[in-house]
Structure 1
Amino acid sequence: MRTVVSENQIIRRSTMKKLLAILLTVCFMLGVFAACTNDNTPANTNGPEGNNNENPGQTQTQTQTQTQAPMSSGLDLSASDKPLKDWVTYLTLANEMETFNILYSQNNKELRVLTNCIDGLLSNDNHGNLVPAIAETWGTEDGGKTWTFNLRKGVQWVNMNGEPMQEVKAEDWLVGLEWVLNFHKNEAANTSMPTEMIEGAADYYAYVAGYQDLEIPADADAATKEKLTKNYEDAKAKFEAICEKYGLEPVRLTADEAKSMDLTVFKQMVGIEAPDDYTLIYHCVAELPYFATVATYNCLYPAPQALIDQLGVDGFYACTNENMWYNGCYTITHYINGNEKVLTKNPLYWDTDCTLFDTVTYKMVESGDVAFQMFQAGELDYIELTESNLRTIYNSESNEFHDYIVEARPTKYSYQLHLCWDKRDENGDPDVNWNTAIANENFRLAWYYGLDATPYLARTNFIYPQHCANYCYTMSNLVSFSNGQEYTERVMEKLGISPDGENYARVDAAKAAEYKAKAMEELAAQGVTFPVVADYYIQGSSQTALDTANVLKQLFSDCLGDDFVTLNIKTYISSVAKEVRNPQLASFYINGWGADYGDPQNYLGQETYGMDNAYYSEAYSITRNITDEKLIAVYEEFTNMVNAANAIVGDMDARYEAYADAEKYMIEHALVIPWYKNVLWQVTHVNDYSKIYAPYGIQGDKFKNWETSADAYTTEDYAKLAEAYAAGTAK
């Protein structure tokens, strides 16, 4: 097998060369394995053993009474076999939590913590298979239209101190879903999956949210007045039709009325029921063979009504670690914003056979360099290596960590350049120059074909930078066709991209120059001045972020030319949402999306047009304010393609093919620009192959059933662990 980086380019030491070659080969094997696990359905959607049922009408019931025991490698390793009782990790300040409400959060910076605090119906094991959590068994008898989850008895809600509050019961899932779908309780957070998948959920959301009064600006022209009036009349008619359908008075709810709603109307409208305390049934809008994967995500998480009554609706929305209830592995016993948070093992956790740490401590740091200093001082149990630290360690055989650097497994996140169509300046006025330029497709395509991300990728992985190359919106290994072809491979086929492992494959200097020339001619005629200034924001206290931004700035200069675009690096203090995104100050963002469930809809649905729950389209790109008719038409066509793909439920191959066409269309029109995936290098005291690992959901951040060592694992250890994992011989 050919390695992706030649020996004369990178590998200088024979021992390290052999070990990295083994790791590279094994990583390739793992990629192939992951891409070939399904049979017309998303990988491992049907239960603990990952059975893929060729007949979706057949009964699918899975049973398992406990999660798998922590994996022990059973290998002869250099690392100590003495496990760690406590784990100390770190996060940069940019990743500080902004909410403790797991039903509201849509960001990994919160969910990576909260997944350890609250359990849902299902989880995953270290191979990505679905395994029980609070649901002991689950299944469907009608091909995925109706799903039944049988809950374990005796699971407790506890407070921060681990004291029992009350038993977890099926109605908690009804309370949780009502909260998610109630606009006046939870805004529009986490609504996309329930409204798309569960009968009546979209109607309930629309009923509670109501519609906005007609407001026409005094200076609006006739076309604008007509459009606003039509939108109002359509929304009003939709609301009245929903009310008539369910026998409700066609009167909009006030915010206070919506906040005071119990489950009466919800049960009448929404396809979820709890026939007893330990049985939960979902009625889906169609046959959804992947629905069980949704049960790993927080949109279907439980909430105790007693806690909402205790705190009040506004208090529950803004709950803290001190007043929230827990049913998961840990409680958050100590929290200082921007400094430290401590998770303590839940003494009443239902899974008494699993392995947990006594405590998990998150240290908040300004940068990766600060974290590295802490690791050197023995204050952390793992460290992700910045480019400079990795180069120093790799190039010095005498470095204390030289034999301990290991390549981490890819995360589930696919990172893109997310473009803002309605950028504002600091006074709140439209940035007309940017907004006009970015709406021009030739301008965007010059970026798409011109930007060679390799120097940026090297910031994460200078040894094998192309391991981080990303050419699709969807992350790899999410789903595969029945012939074994992985979905993103099909997308790349359609795009004509053939990665060689050594170059950033989509770069085409000739095409970039052609699109640049066309864009400059067209935009100059529209009054755009060059170079177009692109404002890019980083956290001001992070030297690592500044170093990376400077690499990006130079990359823009080298690839596109200073006569075309200039990258302007700006800073925020603590919250990118409050300081940058909400006031619409950035020209673009580099952000990633990780799948919430095992289907391409969860990726592409974030970019559709005219949908309140399209996260990136609404919150980052601000598509609702686009005025360029050509751009609107492209978005509408893309949205129609996504909706058509989502309507295909009986033939998964046809479904994936339709999504691949939609994804190709989105990328070739540069509505977003795929950028990178995260494959970093680290020094660590945990065997990554023992961790929960799945291409979707929030379970992968659980500190559960980890195999750890008092000594850091060596490069040689990780080669053995990876090989055993791929071969299925690890204990």
Structure 2
Amino acid sequence: MIKMKKRLIGTGLVLATGILLSACGQSNTDTSTYSSTFSANPTTFNYLLDYYADNTAVITNLVDGLLENDSYGNLVPALAEDWSVSSDGLIYTYKLRKDAKWYTADGEEYASVKAQDFVTGIKYAADNKGQAMDLIQNSIKGLNDYVTGVTNDFSTVGVKALDDYTVEYTLTRPEPYWNSKTTNSILFPVNEEFLKSKDKDFGTLTPDSILYNGPYLLKDFTSKSSIEYVKNPHYYDHDKVTIEKVKLAYFDGSDQEMTIRNFESGAYSIAGVYPNSSNYAKTKEKYQDNIVYSLQDKTSWYFNFNVNRKTYNHTAKTTDEQKKSAQTAILNKNFRQAINFGIDRTAYSAQSNGEEAASKTLRNTLVPPTFVQVGDKTFGEVTASKLVNYGTEWSGINLADAQDAYFNKEKAQARFAEAKKELEAQGVTFPIHLDVPVDQTNKNAVSGMNSVKQTLETVLGSDNIVIDVQQLSTDDFG
């Protein structure tokens, strides 16, 4: 089975989506309220244990960390007013602002935000195996030993509250990018008393399951229906929060004309529009000055093999031999590389973003290729220079955004020819059947997966590989 995953940070070879067409600046005249849609349904508000963008997209409006990114991506103070770094690059000391408070969902003051809240947050995440622990586990001194059970003494971990408003992190090695990690929710604070009072209900999908120190309070969340925020009137930086209310309606993508209808009626302040929908040409003509491409998203989406599949609840495979052959094939390096070179990511993107914007969505690494600078080279350039270690066909790869670094029919066919020799020697029978699950209500996803099916079967031959698109209900897909 091939699944599609998303992460915020990581390394690897990816298919990224993030540029949408949107229409703005029209009907809704209530400038104090922002109204639009959401299509990724939150599954938890436990920001210390969860890592997925669907959930952090909500939390980042409600809870602040030490630092945050401004509109240009620069790191700026949030709960930390100031910070310093030791000369050896190992100790980061943050001075907290004294006017930051915790509030309930009703806007009642609960407590001041203290340095101990950051210590409590990391201990809770470590004790409960937070999904993003790999981001910090080997960065903070002593944390790996605590997580792996070498010690059960959390005082040996390099995060300390020096006083009520000073928190200190001691690292295992210098990390010039450490400050960027403080924007991740696993390093957010939590009030210990509140955490204990909620116990296992902390972060459940109700407004009162968390405390708030950010610009908004969550007033309502109804799964697959609505999300509503209101401005936190006591927020330390409240003067800069210009939108009083945010109202989001759930949109599953099944009716691609709905967003523009609601925009024109004044229900939405901004609306995604779909280049492949029947009304797009008319919409583009009418609103051409207000249709923009959004910036490339911080989230990367990518295909991933299920290399240890145990269940076959949704499959086109009819025999144990087909299951075994698929399992053996995806463990073969040449086979996996053939799939990678055989996916036309631009064609996939065009199913939702249209031909004109298709390449704009493409990212070839899980983080932007310009994420960090290594000497006089970008992260992408350094990574590309190392890819040749996978084989000569990986030389000369361009990892820049907005172009497909990987799709190459000749390389795909050459790798598959090698794979087939190796697999036939192992008794594998062809064609190899690969199941690809997709939410049947998501028209863009269905057409995208069918595009992948068509490309791979054309490039590699349907006598060699068959992509079985499994259209599942939303609940089964989730």
TM-score by length of 2: 0.84
Q: Does 1:328 align with 2:204?
A: no
Q: Does 1:471 align with 2:364?
A: yes
Cα-to-partner distance string for 1:398-441 (whole Å, 9 max, x where unaligned)? 83223322122111233322122112343699932221011112
Cα-to-partner distance string for 1:252-306 (whole Å, 9 max, x where unaligned)? xxxxxxxxxxxxx322x21111121111111111222221111111111111111
Equivalent in the alignment of 1:206: 148
Equivalent in the alignment of 2:267: 379
Cα-to-partner distance string for 1:301-323 (whole Å, 9 max, x where unaligned)? 111111122223x2225463223
Q: Could you tell me which of 126, 134, 143 is aligned with 1:192?
A: 134
Partner Cα distance (1:504, 1:155) in 2: 45
Partner Cα distance (1:157, 1:104) in 2: 20
Q: Does 1:88 align with 2:88?
A: no
Structure 1 position 158, deviation (Å)? 0.7
Q: Does 1:284 align with 2:171?
A: yes
Q: CA RMSD in A?
A: 2.9
Equivalent in the alignment of 1:295: 182
SS in 2 for 1:127: coil
Equivalent in the alignment of 1:564: 464
Contact 1:88–1:379 at 8 Å: present in 2 too?
yes
Contact 1:119–1:301 at 8 Å: present in 2 too?
yes
Counterpart of 1:159, as a letter, is T
Structure 1 position 501, deviation (Å)? 9.8
Counterpart of 1:149, as a letter, is Y
Q: Could you tell me which of 214, 226, 231 is aligned with 1:345?
A: 231
Partner Cα distance (1:556, 1:204) in 2: 46
Structure 1 position 352, deviation (Å)? 3.0
Equivalent in the alignment of 2:450: 550
Contact 2:161–2:167 at 8 Å: present in 1 too?
yes
Equivalent in the alignment of 2:397: 497
Structure 1 pair 352–383 and aligned structure 2 pair: CA distance change class (3 A)? closer
User: In terms of Rg, which structure is larger?
Assistant: 1
Equivalent in the alignment of 2:390: none
Equivalent in the alignment of 1:266: 154
Partner Cα distance (2:441, 2:430) in 1: 31
Counterpart of 2:38, as a letter, is L
SS in 2 for 1:306: helix
Partner Cα distance (2:348, 2:158) in 1: 47
Cα-to-partner distance string for 1:508-563 (whole Å, 9 max, x where unaligned)? 33332222222223223323222211111111222232222222222222222211
Contact 1:143–1:288 at 8 Å: present in 2 too?
no
| Percent of aligned pairs with the same amino acid | 27
- Unaligned ranges ≥5, structure 1: 1-77, 208-241, 249-264, 582-731
Partner Cα distance (1:448, 1:91) in 2: 31
Q: Could you tell me which of 154, 170, 179 is aligned with 2:115?
A: 170
Structure 1 pair 455–277 and aligned structure 2 pair: CA distance change class (3 A)? same
SS in 1 for 2:183: coil
Equivalent in the alignment of 2:373: 480
Partner Cα distance (1:149, 1:401) in 2: 47
SS in 2 for 1:126: coil
Counterpart of 2:268, as a letter, is L
Cα-to-partner distance string for 1:664-711 (whole Å, 9 max, x where unaligned)? xxxxxxxxxxxxxxxxxxxxxxxxxxxxxxxxxxxxxxxxxxxxxxxx
Structure 1 position 159, deviation (Å)? 0.8
Contact 2:438–2:477 at 8 Å: present in 1 too?
no
Structure 1 position 168, deviation (Å)? 1.0
Structure 1 pair 374–523 and aligned structure 2 pair: CA distance change class (3 A)? farther
SS in 1 for 2:99: coil
SS in 2 for 1:553: helix
Partner Cα distance (1:381, 1:560) in 2: 46
Matches within 5 A, 1:215-230: none
Equivalent in the alignment of 1:439: 331
Counterpart of 2:428, as a letter, is V
Contact 2:413–2:459 at 8 Å: present in 1 too?
no
Q: Does 1:507 align with 2:407?
A: yes
TM-score by length of 1: 0.56
Q: Could you tell me which of 122, 140, 153 is aligned with 2:85?
A: 140
Structure 1 pair 549–543 and aligned structure 2 pair: CA distance change class (3 A)? same
Partner Cα distance (2:456, 2:228) in 1: 41
Matches within 5 A, 1:279-678: 279-312=166-199, 314-316=200-202, 318=204, 320-367=206-253, 369=256, 370-389=258-277, 393=280, 395=281, 399-426=285-312, 431-459=323-351, 460-483=353-376, 485-494=377-386, 495-498=395-398, 504-575=404-475, 579=476
Structure 1 pair 551–398 and aligned structure 2 pair: CA distance change class (3 A)? closer
Higher strand share: 2
Using the TM superposition, name which of 169-178 and 350-359 deviates more. 350-359
Equivalent in the alignment of 1:71: none
Equivalent in the alignment of 2:103: 158
Contact 2:215–2:238 at 8 Å: present in 1 too?
no
Counterpart of 2:446, as a letter, is L
Contact 2:262–2:268 at 8 Å: present in 1 too?
yes
Partner Cα distance (1:538, 1:463) in 2: 25
Structure 1 pair 308–466 and aligned structure 2 pair: CA distance change class (3 A)? closer
Structure 1 pair 192–100 and aligned structure 2 pair: CA distance change class (3 A)? same
Structure 1 position 128, deviation (Å)? 1.3
Number of equivalenced pairs: 438
Partner Cα distance (2:50, 2:378) in 1: 30
Counterpart of 1:271, as a letter, is G
Partner Cα distance (1:431, 1:187) in 2: 33
Structure 1 position 461, deviation (Å)? 4.6
Contact 1:329–1:356 at 8 Å: present in 2 too?
no
Equivalent in the alignment of 1:721: none
Equivalent in the alignment of 1:111: 56
Counterpart of 1:468, as a letter, is T
Partner Cα distance (2:433, 2:297) in 1: 32
- Unaligned ranges ≥5, structure 2: 1-24, 315-319, 387-394
Counterpart of 2:213, as a letter, is N
Structure 1 position 328, deviation (Å)? 0.7
Partner Cα distance (2:262, 2:170) in 1: 51
Contact 2:215–2:241 at 8 Å: present in 1 too?
no
Structure 1 position 470, deviation (Å)? 3.3
Contact 2:349–2:448 at 8 Å: present in 1 too?
no
Structure 1 pair 104–371 and aligned structure 2 pair: CA distance change class (3 A)? farther
Counterpart of 1:482, as a letter, is G
